[in-house]
């Protein structure tokens, strides 16, 4: 049976930590769908279509061996409903530190309560990326700071534009 995992998030912008998680998830699952949440409440650094194009480019450039098994798409509504639509039985999330654990545990339990057939699988983000967060990258970039060591080259090009 083909195993599909959904990796949901805002990816505003995608960081090297996300790329690490996508690559490792592709080592376990046959297909990984990166689902970019449509969130009208957040004011984004990158528009939805730019985020999707950036993730696609970053995956093709940085994860060439597995890129063809990775899809990038947007979704709105509940993550578990989208996972069901994709026939994905797994949700992938990265854990950087204990501080992530509380919200992630709450989301995983809540999602499982809604759809017990969908399990959340966590990857410990690689130590060298464990400090990274999209919101800090967003703040630094908005003040013109250099974020090129924190995000994939495709995202750095996009931000320069």
Number of residues that bind ligand PNS (CB under 6 A): 9
Q: Is 56 a catalytic residue?
A: no
Q: Is 96 a catalytic residue?
A: yes
Which pairing describes strands 4-9 and 119-124: parallel, antiparallel, or unpaired?
unpaired
Structure tokens belonging to residue 26:
């592709």
φ/ψ bin of 87: left (φ > 0), alpha (ψ from -120 to 50), beta (otherwise): left
Cα dihedral across residues 92, 42, 115, 95: positive or negative: positive
- Residue 8 · residue 25 · CB < 8 Å: no
State which of residues 4, 5, 10, 45 lies at the interface with ligand PNS (CB under 6 A).
10
Binding mask 69-88 for ligand PNS (x = CB under 6 A): ---------xx---------
Q: Is 42 a catalytic residue?
A: yes
**Is residue 8 part of the contact set for ligand PNS (CB under 6 A)?**
yes
Tell me which DSSP letter residue 152 carries: -
Residue 137: strand, helix, or coil: helix
Q: Is 18 a catalytic residue?
A: yes
> Which residue among 51, 56, 93, 96 is the active-site one?
96
- Select the span of 26-34, 104-112, 119-127, 143-151 touching ligand PNS (CB under 6 A): 104-112
> Hey, which residues are catalytic here?
18, 42, 96, 134
Q: Which residues of the chain form contacts with ligand PNS (CB under 6 A)?
A: 8-10, 37, 78-79, 107, 110-111
């Amino acid at each position: 049976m083909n195993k599909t995992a959904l990796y949901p998030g805002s990816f505003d912008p995608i960081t090297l930590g996300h790329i690490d998680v996508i690559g490792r998830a592709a080592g376990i699952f046959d297909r990984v769908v990166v689902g970019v949440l449509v969130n009208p409440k957040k004011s984004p650094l990158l528009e939805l279509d730019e985020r999707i194009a950036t993730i696609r480019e970053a995956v093709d450039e940085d994860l060439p061996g597995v890129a063809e098994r990775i899809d990038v798409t947007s979704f709105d509504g509940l993550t578990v409903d989208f996972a069901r639509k994709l026939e994905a039985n797994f949700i992938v999330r990265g854990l950087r530190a204990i501080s992530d654990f509380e919200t992630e545990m709450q989301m995983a339990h809540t999602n499982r309560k809604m759809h017990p057939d969908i399990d959340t699988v966590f990857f410990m983000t690689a130590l060298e990326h464990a400090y990274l967060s999209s919101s800090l990258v967003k703040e630094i970039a908005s003040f013109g700071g250099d974020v090129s060591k924190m995000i994939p080259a495709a995202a750095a090009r996009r931000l320069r534009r």
